[in-house]
Structure 1
Amino acid sequence: MTVIDIPGSKSVTARALFLAAAAEGTTTLLRPLRSDDTEGFAEGLKALGYAVRQEPGAWHIEGRPAGPGVAEADVYCRDGATTARFLPALAAAGHGTFRFDASPQMRRRPLGPLTTALRELGVELAHGEREGHHPLTVTGRGIKGGALRLDAGQSSQYLTALLMLGPLTADGLAVTVTDLVSEPYVEITLAMMRAFGAEIAREDGPEGRTYTVAPTGYRATTYAIEPDASTSSYFFAAAALTPGGAVTVPGLGTGALQGDLGFVDVLRRMGADVTIGADRTTVRSTGTLRGLTVNMRDISDTMPTLAAIAPFADGPVRIEDVANTRVKECDRLDACAENLRALGITVDTGPDWIEIHPGTPAGPAEIATHGDHRIVMSFAVTALRTPGVTFDDPGCVRKTFPDFHTVFEAFARGL
């Protein structure tokens, strides 16, 4: 049995950094993820005047409930969607002029639903080039709060940014959501906000679900970051794919915040043996992977992982309701189809689905990564059964797991 320690969750680390910056007092984050995305978020906070001290295994953030500690700043968000979407909302609660820009990849990703909502709350902001995209200038004068409607069908991060902003408003915030994707990520947000002292109510009505956030502010705390469930999916998938394979990931169990742990339920449906304990999850191969049809709307970051092992199933694998994967770091649905076809696999796609037929992937082949870390890590699993697979940009894993190739290679040797 291989036991592997997975780096901290990117999603949890990003939210914790926002909440710590907004809280009264000094917060200590234990085992935060150190990657390009989270380092970019921390650098963004520093540019906004927040004190962030990074030590091995612990980051210390001095909160500023009144907002950024500078009156003017330029923030480069790199490739990080959480940085690019969360920090403008944080800055809007302060006072000053804050300019945000991002990588060409992040500039292509949509921002419009969030900035439209901020404007409805009275925030003065301007897109520098293309409406609804970075670069973006936010002029913060504090936020009174109020009620608004939001379409979060492209990304739950729009809703998360607004929810985390709520306790910093003068009168509180009520957000009615008309569409929502990746709902488990919102549940992460709510649980973490409450851990920092926020009060949130939720009510379902005829016009959608309404989240009401009280203007409580936040209190500093010591917060432990759990392992990344999306990253764990590659190791779980590899174990399920390999006859005799087994892996245990400590720190992810029945109390885990991250919905992407639900990927192991997909593996169970395919025939893998799955045990979820209080503080760990184990996946064992049974030597068989069955085809299936699965809705992955709520765990869409693991869609490429399933696509990467789908050819080895005994029947077609159809993944549905994943339109939002087309507006991630790349069009992940098309990227998976492109690479599987390059390996000789028959693939059909539609606007929000992909169907992968059984087959034996043929190498050698170079995977077109499109600069997307999840494409690399997913097809590394395919490569376990496909000699000669290489990647045109293997280093893009630095976004979430800089040491992925070294760790995965050592893990694979032990399967």
Structure 2
Amino acid sequence: MGTTTATRPLQPWTAPTASDPVAATLRLPGSKSMTARALVLSALASGPSTLAGPLRARDTELMAAGLRGMGAHVSISDDERWLVRPHRLVGPAHVDVGLAGTVMRFVPPVAGLAEGRITFDGDPQARTRPLGPLIGALRSLGVRIDVAGPDSLPLTVVGAGRVAGGEVVIDASASSQLVSGLLLAAPRFERGVVVRHVGPPVPSAPHLRMTVQMLRAAGAAVDDAEADVWAVEPGPLTGRGWEIEPDLSGAVPFFAAALVTGGEVTLAGWPHSSAQPVERLRELLQRMGGEVQLSTAGLTVRGTGTVRGLEADLSDVSELTPALTALAMLADSPSRFTGVAHIRGHETDRIAALAREFTALGADLTESRDGLEIRPRPLRGGTFRTYADHRMAHAAAVAGLAVPGIELDDVACTSKTMPEFPALWSAMVTGKS
């Protein structure tokens, strides 16, 4: 069934404390979400595609390796431009998903189109991430999947070279990726797919909009006019050039630094029309005391010297919860975040982990079923465990701007989506590259 990824050594790191307002213009790597979707659509297209400005990180390299293992030609030797040439998908192959939700949920539907056995496994923590709804949906669409234990990794897709497709009902309240994975492969299904979500609201709606937008850009016919229903017609996907935007989620800790220190951070190269939820981020940062401006220079966030408390439903932008929690602990009034119960099933139980680690540093946090209540008070330094979760590391770094002596047990986990994070962060705080 394959083996889990070997345990890597931890890399301790002391979060640098800011003595002055930060002032930085950054060029960050490309969006993980866009890179992952572009890779899948390109591997299923009828001709070659290029990805300009892709994210090179553990998650996207695992995605590229998984598609390559099934027969697609994926060249990532050039950091600035990746090339994908589709080819007949075949097994046997093994896909190492690492801890990437995109790989474990986007690639199994593709594997159903392959001929042969495709096994999936990853890091030990990956075996706890929710996959049952996707497994059930694929089986109802005609895909054979063998699972050794509960509906989670490790698993084997026994591809028949075709997927019948059709209509499927799914509870995707645990992750929008459960829907996106089905939609991305659906144009290649014989009857396409109609996905109906039944259950609590699907989180991270902007990611679903990105999936639909990119499918249409590749030539797919997608109807999402009815709430919680997505219909994709069968048909060819067109190879094309993808321009990958800078990663907005990855930028949030840097923008938070502007608020904490009363400084200014510009993300260069930001497009005026974005597939990412920039307007929602602008609203949240402004409510917390920041000034946000989009210009030819990029997306700029300025701090005003005061961080304000915030009450918000973050269900559509749950990836921001860790960094916003760190900001909230440095605010002038309490905060309350709701709508993020699903992040308990991310790389770690993020709600519990944030409450546990920041409480150990003296914070006053109350954990609820679907969020956190934060009452600011002085914090102290100490060890902060990251649980192999890049967003936990980002949160600790934000708090460390104002609190000396916060020591991350492992900053290398940031390589999941931004290997450059420690160097970029230190350069921003110290002003030295």
Structure 2 counterpart of 1:368: 385
> Deviation string for 1:245-274 (max 9, x for gaps)?
001112335411112662332110112111
2:261 pairs with 1:238: no
Task: Tell me how far apart the structure 2 counterparts of residues 188 and 159 of structure 1 sit (CA, whole Å).
Answer: 12
CA contact (8 A) 1:344 1:362 kept: yes
**Alignment equivalent of 1:57, drawn from 80, 86, 96:** 80
Q: Which amino acid aligns with 1:25?
A: G
Task: Tell me how far apart the structure 2 counterparts of residues 7 and 277 of structure 1 sit (CA, whole Å).
Answer: 19
Q: Percent identity?
A: 38
Secondary structure of 2:83's partner? strand
Task: Tell me how far apart the structure 1 counterparts of residues 409 and 332 of structure 2 sit (CA, whole Å).
Answer: 30
**Alignment equivalent of 2:404, drawn from 350, 368, 387:** 387
Runs of 4+ residues deviating >4 angstroms: none
Q: Which amino acid aligns with 2:228?
A: R
Task: Tell me how far apart the structure 2 counterparts of residues 279 and 214 of structure 1 sit (CA, whole Å).
Answer: 40
Q: Which runs of 5+ in 2 are unaligned?
A: 1-22
Task: Tell me how far apart the structure 1 counterparts of residues 288 and 32 of structure 2 sit (CA, whole Å).
Answer: 27
Q: Which amino acid aligns with 1:343?
A: L
**Alignment equivalent of 1:86, drawn from 103, 106, 120:** 106
Task: Tell me how far apart the structure 2 counterparts of residues 260 and 88 of structure 1 sit (CA, whole Å).
Answer: 30
Shift of 1:93: 1.8
Alpha-carbon distance change, 352 to 276 in structure 1, aligned in 2, over 3 angstroms: same
Structure 1 counterpart of 2:298: 280
**Alignment equivalent of 1:197, drawn from 202, 219, 241:** 219
State the number of aligned residues: 406
Shift of 1:383: 0.4
Q: Which amino acid aligns with 1:271?
A: G
**Alignment equivalent of 2:310, drawn from 292, 297, 300:** 292
**Alignment equivalent of 2:230, drawn from 189, 203, 211:** 211
2:178 pairs with 1:158: yes
Structure 2 counterpart of 1:336: 354
Task: Tell me how far apart the structure 1 counterparts of residues 225 and 142 of structure 2 sit (CA, whole Å).
Answer: 25
Task: Tell me how far apart the structure 2 counterparts of residues 313 and 41 of structure 1 sit (CA, whole Å).
Answer: 38
Structure 1 counterpart of 2:415: 398
Task: Tell me how far apart the structure 2 counterparts of residues 71 and 303 of structure 1 sit (CA, whole Å).
Answer: 39
CA contact (8 A) 1:229 1:252 kept: no
Q: Which amino acid aligns with 2:342?
A: N
Q: So what's the TM-score if we normalise by structure 1?
A: 0.95
Shift of 1:278: 6.9
Secondary structure of 1:139's partner? strand
Q: Which amino acid aligns with 1:209?
A: D
2:32 pairs with 1:10: yes
Structure 1 counterpart of 2:152: 133
**Alignment equivalent of 1:47, drawn from 64, 69, 91:** 69
Q: Which amino acid aligns with 2:150?
A: E
Structure 1 counterpart of 2:118: 98
Alpha-carbon distance change, 89 to 279 in structure 1, aligned in 2, over 3 angstroms: farther
Q: Which moved more, 1:259-268 or 1:163-172?
A: 259-268
Secondary structure of 1:43's partner? helix
Q: Which runs of 5+ in 1 are unaligned?
A: none
Task: Tell me how far apart the structure 1 counterparts of residues 105 and 53 of structure 2 sit (CA, whole Å).
Answer: 23
CA contact (8 A) 1:254 1:279 kept: no
Secondary structure of 1:152's partner? coil
> Deviation string for 1:186-214 (max 9, x for gaps)?
0111111111111101132xxx5211101
Q: So what's the TM-score if we normalise by structure 2?
A: 0.91
**Alignment equivalent of 2:244, drawn from 225, 239, 246:** 225
Q: Which moved more, 1:225-234 or 1:277-286?
A: 277-286
**Alignment equivalent of 1:255, drawn from 273, 282, 293:** 273
Task: Tell me how far apart the structure 1 counterparts of residues 273 and 173 of structure 2 sit (CA, whole Å).
Answer: 27
Alpha-carbon distance change, 390 to 260 in structure 1, aligned in 2, over 3 angstroms: farther
CA contact (8 A) 2:97 2:121 kept: yes
**RMSD over aligned Cα atoms:** 1.5
